[in-house]
Chain A
Amino acid sequence: MLLKRHPFILLILLGLSAAFGCNRNDSDTFGEKDISDISFMSIGSFSVERIADNWTEVRDGAGRTLVLVPRGEKAPEGYEPQQVVQVPVKRVVAYGYFDIAILKTLGVLEDVLVGVTADIDEWTIPEVVSGMKSGKIAFLGGYSAIDFERLKQQSPELVLTWDPSIIPMMDEMGVACAITTTPVAMCLHARMRFVSFLAPFFNKEKKAKEYFDRVSTALSSIREKTKNVAHEPKVMWGDIYEKRVLVEPGNAWVGELVGLAQSDYQFDDVYGKSCIEISLERFLYSGKDADIFFTYRTEKTGATSKAALAKTNPLLARIKPLKNGKVFSPLPNYVQSGDKLDEILTDISAIIHPECYPGHALRYFREVPDKDPVTPFTAMKRISNIK
């Protein structure tokens, strides 16, 4: 009767049910459609649109538009010359480890990569090491001191970078440039689908689909394995540095994965870019009852033991994982293994719920021991300190 007299009440109820009942099943959330059939695809801040049979328009992480045109064919009107990229691209300079790992996924790394911004001793990807040894891949200098003359000599057709400040120089050189990072951290879906943004540059859409399917399968397996866990551990990911505190926000793929693996991410309410700065108080408050702490630091940068971390920053010693929880640090191959995202996700899930993964050997993280092992050198040092 009430609904008959006031039909808008029914509409209110319908609206609210749409808003609150919008949890669709997971396969839909991760858009398991055949990407070759899709004329438009948004991947976080990136997008790929087939604007004609042979032209594809892509939007990079900074919102800039590029049009991909088959080699030798005419570009559509309305685009500046620096927006036109001839595909498949044959020579690429890349800044980011993740971009390079995705080139590997697409099976083009050895053929197209001609320049990087990290020296040979920093690489764990065999193809890059061998390419640098043979001279095909050049070290162009650190990100803040790029040797543009050297870059020009390498004749790249495309530069994949996170640094927008090089765009004017690239425009002058007539080299197309795509920004592969975003102002807001990539969510899990965007991280998995990023391969579909790079694939049309090399006509490797099929490879991109294979990668996405592989990571989706890993994710489904994580969900299946962790769905009945009794305990939901509290997880935090970040670190305290000399002047600032940086964490992975809740909207980042890491935060989303932790939630999917039936655990509680302590920075779920933090929103923004990857490695976002928060206050020290907030970090310590979240650390009070956390069970697992993922540090950004590697063994090389100080995460040799909990004691060493506490010594570097005494405030860090206040968080629970350092006192009686678990601390994990990334192994050197972690940042360069974007092509094995499925294995990384599984590693993280196994860390959070070891009971679901009996016998799992970590490949991308190591558990940080309580104390540094005693070596003859440290023993001597201790003795000399006592004296």
Chain B
Amino acid sequence: MKLINTIWEKLGSIQLTFYLITLMVVDLTTGFFFLKAHPHLFQPLNDTGFIKWATTYAKSNPYESAWLFILIFLMTILSVNTFACTTQRMILLVRHHGFADQKIRFILKLSPHIMHYAMLIMLLGYLVSYLTSQAWESNVLLPGKTVRLPGSSCQVRLTDLAIDYYQGKRLVHMQDRGIDVRAALCIQCEKGKEPVTGILGYNRPIGFRGYSLHLKDFAPKSKSGMAIRKYIQFTIRKDPGTGFYFTGMILFTIGLLLYLTNWLTARN
């Protein structure tokens, strides 16, 4: 029991946090150079999933990808360290503050720990994403054409494609170049039922029954130059990790607001 307590205390020590963060800085600096030198090696991580990537790209390039595995190892220990450290503080707080007399003050004091737990939930989300998410790359849609959502009977149709071309005078090289795109999509799963519609654009994905659609490319990008058909290229993703990110983000925001309130209260 004593050994377990010692391990538990060591796992939550701030010294361990310091060492881990220092090592992570070194590892990430190393990773920066490898990422820059071998972008093609790491780009497929976005759509193949971590396990597939690890058994293919990483396995055939162990020297270039080692930093990522070291980072995952360090992150795992940091997560355990954060969990142990935060839980130890939480236990202390609960022991020394009664719920009855200073409820609000007690809740405010929880704020940093809420943020830490939120961080852990977000990290868990990343883990879930890397391990379980699926991506279908480069789906192409021309106006009026359809694509089937993989693993479902739903059809995605491009009903309209509006491209805004730069018409200003300030940036001469941007003249007549596409600067924004709005693709009107219609998703229909069963005939006779009302279809779901949405506008797809850059930084404007469409979410539908656990799938998300992300714009990757469009054409034509310029009014002049090569004559190219109008089309959009998009990625379909199914990512169970997103629920964790959003939960983590909401929790983090709550923690941050509580922290701010606590800080303002203490100042006044």
Contacts of A289 in B (CB 8 A): none
B44 touches which of A41, A63, A243 (Cβ 8 Å): A63
In whole angstroms, what is the CA distance A24 to B175 when docked?
45
CB closest chain-B residue, reference A23: B37
Contacts of A80 in B (CB 8 A): 150
Contacts of A168 in B (CB 8 A): 140-142, 145, 147
B100 at the interface (CB under 8 A from A): no
Interface pair A164/B226, CB less than 8 Å apart: no
Of the listed residues B43, B44, B140, B219, the one surrounded by the most CB atoms of chain A closer than 10 A to its CB is: B140
In whole angstroms, what is the CA distance A323 to B37 when docked?
36
Distance (whole angstroms) from the CB of B59 to the closest CB of chain A: 7
B166 at the interface (CB under 8 A from A): no
Per-residue 0/1 for A255-274: is the Cβ within 8 Å of any B Cβ (1 yes, 0 no)? 00000000000000000000
Main secondary structure of the interface of A (DSSP, over half): mixed
In whole angstroms, what is the CA distance A63 to B138 when docked?
7
Interface pair B226/A244, CB less than 8 Å apart: no
Contacts of A280 in B (CB 8 A): 173
Known: A62-B233, A64-B138. A45 touches B43 (CB 8 A): yes
B247 at the interface (CB under 8 A from A): no
Interface size classification for chain A:
35 or more
B41 touches which of A11, A42, A64, A164 (Cβ 8 Å): A42
Known: A15-B27, A16-B29. A164 touches B231 (CB 8 A): yes
A62 touches which of B138, B224, B228 (Cβ 8 Å): B138
Interface pair A8/B141, CB less than 8 Å apart: no
Contacts of B175 in A (CB 8 A): 243
In whole angstroms, what is the CA distance A40 to B47 when docked?
17
In whole angstroms, what is the CA distance A63 to B44 when docked?
8
A277 at the interface (CB under 8 A from B): yes
Interface residues of chain B, those whose CB is within 8 Å of chain A, are 19, 22-23, 26-27, 29-30, 32-34, 37, 39-41, 43-44, 47, 56-57, 59-61, 63, 67, 137-138, 140-142, 145, 147, 150, 173, 175, 217, 219, 224-229, 231, 233
- 8 A-B pairs with the lowest CB-CB distances in the bound complex, closest first: A63-B137, A15-B26, A62-B138, A144-B227, A19-B30, A165-B229, A167-B140, A165-B231
